[in-house]
Amino acid sequence: MELCDYTAHELHDMLVRREISCEDICRSIFKRIKLLDKKIKAYITVIEEEALMRARDIDQEISQGAEPGPLTGIPVAIKDNICTEGLRTTCASKILHNFVPPYNATVINKLHSQKVIITGKTNMDEFAMGSSTENSGFFPTSNPWALDRVPGGSSGGSAAAVAAGEAICALGSDTGGSIRQPAAFCGVVGMKPTYGAVSRFGLVAFASSLDQIGPMTRDVTDAALMLNAICGHDRWDSTSIPTDYPDFTTFLVDDIKGLRVGVPKEYFTEGLSPEVREIIEKAIATLETLGANIVETTLPHTDYALPAYYLIAPGEASSNLARYDGVRYGYRADDADDVVDMFIKSRSRGFGDEVKRRIMLGSYALSAGYYDAYYLKALKVRTLIKRDFEAAFENCDVLISPTTPTPAFRKGEKIDDPLTMYMSDIYTLAVNLAGLPAISVPGGFRNGLPVGVQFIGKPLGEGTLLRVAYSFEQSSNYRGKRPPIVEEVL
């Protein structure tokens, strides 16, 4: 097995024993990128030279006696909507194709303090708006398990990179399922923390009350290590929660005896494919065998989550994206007759179809005469959804559900049908509306494609989620499986 196929904690152990160097790990990653990324296209920007220089510097420190930390020398890919000082950050949009931020996002500074090595910026749906990474303004990304399938979205590049060994870990962002859905499609672990647990400073905004940065990793242990690195209060983010966070690795205990696991009946109705249902039911049986108490519960306003989300998120997007006007930075039309014409041409050419669609939806919902009828009503529904979860957690410690209704679908299958595409996030977006933590872990395979199992927790309940996910992971044999395309090149 190549170094790029190991987990972060396995590589850490080898570094501690001085069996490998940080440069060895990096060279393995970039070798894999060169072998596979022409087919997968997980990255928009790769920074091999800078990464190798940083790896050599860290190796020098270790040779002089410095003890490697848990993430020292670990190559991490960054979703391209997270600002990186001096490194192009495009949001996979032509309107930001040459934008280089003058500062780092808080999570980037946190990773630097852990001596992580950034490998580059990953592809995504433009401005994080999509469920397949087909809405990228540059090129679509392929699923490593089947190149004719989508990797999910909007963090599809990050998920594909981790699955294919083009990064050990990655950061994604999750507004309605954009970490968990691609994690499920690509057979990796993806975690959306509690809203406010991870700073959003430096995350290019899509929907500010929903966006959250989180880790995408090979296993649950690495997810805990990444959470340790990125969680914490940040004075630069007014929504950041001022609380102390535990060492999340202490929750990696293979014991869930007596834990109450809720099964929301609304998540097992029409629309859930038989192959996914079978895997989720098997996962529930596994948890029961491990000693968990399975409890049927209800989230009665589930049917209203998707319409509420697609009023709230586009409403916030239409406001956030108003800043891209061709005046201060980003793409500017150079053939405009006047200022107004420049605004129109810059935005018309710079934004893709899905972004324009959501801006128009949001502007309509926020407009005079429609605000009360649509946006305000959606906010009230959001409150009802939040109360549904609160009621469910009175009798449960965590909830279990599918992450997606189907395994990864084929490229082009849903791109011309936005409503069908939006349904891909039917089991994930309510979590964002309620601000809860959730994690998707590999639950099995159907027809060679990964299927994810989602666990949903109480606010700041990441520890319990990790405990359940870790126990489930230990009982499965899905860890270490590699996509066929990886096996072909080895």
> Can you read off the two tokens belonging to residue 320?
């956030």
What distance separates the 2 farthest-apart alpha carbons in the chain?
A: 70
Closest of 286, 269, 254 to residue 405, by C-alpha: 269
From the list 178, 199, 440, 471, the catalytic residue is 178
Query: Measured between alpha carbons, how far is residue 313 from residues 55, 194, 300, 377, 483 in Å?
Result: 40, 18, 21, 14, 34
DSSP structural state of residue 278: H
Q: Please confirm, yes or no, whether 178 is among the known catalytic residues.
A: yes
Tally the C-alpha atoms within 13 A of residue 269's C-alpha that lie toward its C-beta: 11
In b/e form, how buried is each residue of 475-484, taking b as 16+ CB within 10 angstroms?
eeebbeebbe
Q: Please confirm, yes or no, whether 367 is among the known catalytic residues.
A: no
**3-state SS string for 131-173:** CCCCCCCCCCCCECCECCECCCCCCHHHHHHHHHCCCCEEEEE
From the list 131, 154, 158, 346, the catalytic residue is 154
Closest of 162, 164, 127, 165 to residue 147, by C-alpha: 164
Q: Please confirm, yes or no, whether 79 is among the known catalytic residues.
A: yes
DSSP structural state of residue 409: P
From the list 41, 79, 192, 458, the catalytic residue is 79
> Residues with Cβ < 8 Å from 236, sequence gap 6 or more?
106, 199, 201
Active site residues: 79, 154, 178
